[in-house]
Chains A and B, each alone.
Chain A
């Protein structure tokens, strides 16, 4: 290349406003998340002040002791609420990040982590195990294992069906994923229709609406590890997400094979989403809305979006879970219902907002 300049001019100093903004947003969200987690652990039918909550957590983490008369409250905090709130945070973070990835993969504003058949597959797997039994060796985790297996099987079928001819393309992935979801929902309806008990219907409701009531210390680390590893890989590969969002032709010219990238992204998002769905059901809307909200604040670059979206998703989910178990206490609202009731108006507001461009003017 030559140094010949078309317009010889001094390049203006590059503004780093949005970069600093992402850092500030991440720091603020992390702080809010820490405080919200403490508050959410304390809140509930037996309200526990944040100071006491903190001392119980400290005791649990450091192997300290709590007064004998407070053992009951300690048990509520440590055995029931802490894993639940942490699971909400982990799943919220995972949904936010996977939503970013799937929107880049599908190159579609309406994409969300369940678009590619994961949730329908998980629900079908869970219902099949619940109704017909099987996986008995896994005991109380049999249904979760069924959900995970169903999620992965659905993704695999979507991959195989979409990759048939000239490799994966975003549009074909979306079409096959949506078609597969319909097929699985139909299969699920048939299973429930012929089910010998009424429990199947409530299983379906749980898996399609979601909730954190089943959180425990046994499954939390597994899901947390899957989510954190998935987010780490996405952050590391954020350049690829940027490039594939430009379209297949431009990606080719930049040395990126869109089909191959879609394959590993599909595997990654399916594994992580499948792990989340297996323990908390398919909680809608967070994975759709969080990426959009984050982009409004920090712009479209995936490295910055992925630094903020998990924290935003986690914070949102902690509060949504808190709302779902306190609003109509002692009953619990399905988390998926709360996310949709809050999420839909927010989403419509954002779409009407001027200055947020997604998919052109």
Chain B
């Protein structure tokens, strides 16, 4: 299902955080959202999973305005993997994953056999099946992150939005998650800080700065030394990955101006 932001504006406490953002992710594609801190990436995502109402513009899911349909229906279309997991209760991993079925059920009764299987598959897919009976408050950040991905999968969305999904993940699970995203048939909108990961997994990348779109295109078009300089304010080089040809960003950390007397 196509996800389209049509002149989306979002304000927080009267301040415009996202301004006039127009972006489209064709059905089944992976659209990356990159940009410096405070550029409005997360805020734009929040108006897609209906945590924050747009102050202007429309979020289209296919032919339907996401904000003009019942919340539960919207949650059957869009699932989100977000940074905040603030539960004070020690739910088990299996319970948290099962909550992904809430938009389809609306009650707290037991899962049926199909739903049970769906949950088990999702947990296996992100490598948390062995944690099913563990309390969520005892998990590491990376384990929790994978549990939240499993919950989003169980939601069976047509559109998946992820905010920094590789945060806390070790290298193996970063690559695991990104290959899951790349192979997925759902439409994906993903905020990533790591430009190399974004270049590796995204079909198209949108660059936000100060709440507005500054560039959008294929990784090759967008991840350039010029973008690094103008948007992020850093000097770097962009080379092609030897096997995939995708852009790779290389940095040299400038040496301190005076290293004399520095303890070994």
- Chain A residues near B (Cβ < 8 Å): 1-2, 4-12, 14-15, 17-18, 104, 107-109, 235-243, 245-250, 252-257, 295, 299-303, 356-361
Contact = CB atoms under 8 A, between A and B. Distances in A.
A242 B177 contact: no
Contacts of B130: 12
B261 interface: no
B95 A301 contact: yes
B133 A242 contact: no
B88 interface: yes
Given A5-B124, A6-B127, A238-B108, A107 B51 contact: no
B109 interface: yes
Interface string B189-225: 0000000000000000000000000000000000000
A300 B95 contact: yes
Contacts of B180: 4, 6
Given A12-B129, A247-B85, A257-B71, A240 B186 contact: no
Residue with the highest number of chain B CB atoms closer than 10 Å, among A237, A249, A356 = A249
Residue with the highest number of chain B CB atoms closer than 10 Å, among A7, A240, A299 = A7
B99 interface: yes
A11 B124 contact: yes
B107 interface: yes
A15 B108 contact: no
A302 B108 contact: yes
A242 B180 CA distance: 28
Contact of A239 (B82, B107, B116): B107
B91 A301 contact: yes
A230 B127 CA distance: 40
B170 interface: no
Interface string B32-66: 00000000000000100111000000000000000
A237 B51 contact: no
Contact of B84 (A8, A247, A299): A247
B91 A7 contact: no
A236 B103 CA distance: 15
A237 B71 CA distance: 16
Interface residues of B, number: 63
Given A237-B107, A246-B85, A248-B51, A254 B75 contact: yes
A6 B102 contact: no
A2 B82 contact: no
A354 to B, nearest CB: 12
B147 to A, nearest CB: 12
A235 B108 CA distance: 8
Given A255-B102, A301-B95, A11 B129 contact: yes
Contacts of A243: 99, 102
A247 B86 contact: yes
10 contacts: A5-B124, A6-B177, A7-B124, A108-B88, A239-B109, A246-B86, A248-B51, A252-B50, A253-B79, A361-B137
A249 B46 contact: yes
B74 interface: yes
Given A6-B125, A254-B100, A245 B89 contact: yes
Given A12-B132, A255-B103, 10 more contacts: A4-B179, A235-B108, A241-B108, A245-B89, A246-B96, A252-B71, A254-B100, A299-B91, A300-B89, A302-B108
A17 B134 CA distance: 12
Interface in B106-139: 106-109, 116, 120-121, 123-127, 129-130, 132-133, 135, 137-138
A36 to B, nearest CB: 29
A303 B123 CA distance: 22
A256 B106 CA distance: 9
B49 to A, nearest CB: 4
Contact of B121 (A11, A239, A302): A11
Contact of B123 (A4, A11, A253): A11
A360 B107 contact: no
Interface in B127-180: 127, 129-130, 132-133, 135, 137-138, 152-153, 155-156, 176-177, 179-180
Contacts of B91: 242, 245, 299-301
Contacts of B51: 248-249, 252-253
Contact of A2 (B72, B75, B86, B185): B185
Contacts of B108: 235-242, 301-303
Contacts of B186: 1
B7 interface: no
A357 B76 contact: no
Contacts of A18: 92, 133
Contacts of B153: 1
Contacts of A360: 88, 137
B1 interface: no
| 7 tightest A-B CB contacts, nearest first | A255-B75, A239-B108, A238-B108, A253-B80, A247-B86, A255-B72, A11-B120
Given A9-B129, A299-B90, A255 B107 contact: no
B94 A246 contact: no
A243 B101 CA distance: 11
Contacts of B264: none
Given A7-B127, A9-B129, A11-B124, A358 B90 contact: yes
Contacts of A356: 90
A2 B79 CA distance: 16
Residue with the highest number of chain B CB atoms closer than 10 Å, among A15, A235, A255, A357 = A255
A2 B86 CA distance: 30
B105 interface: yes
Contacts of A252: 49-51, 71
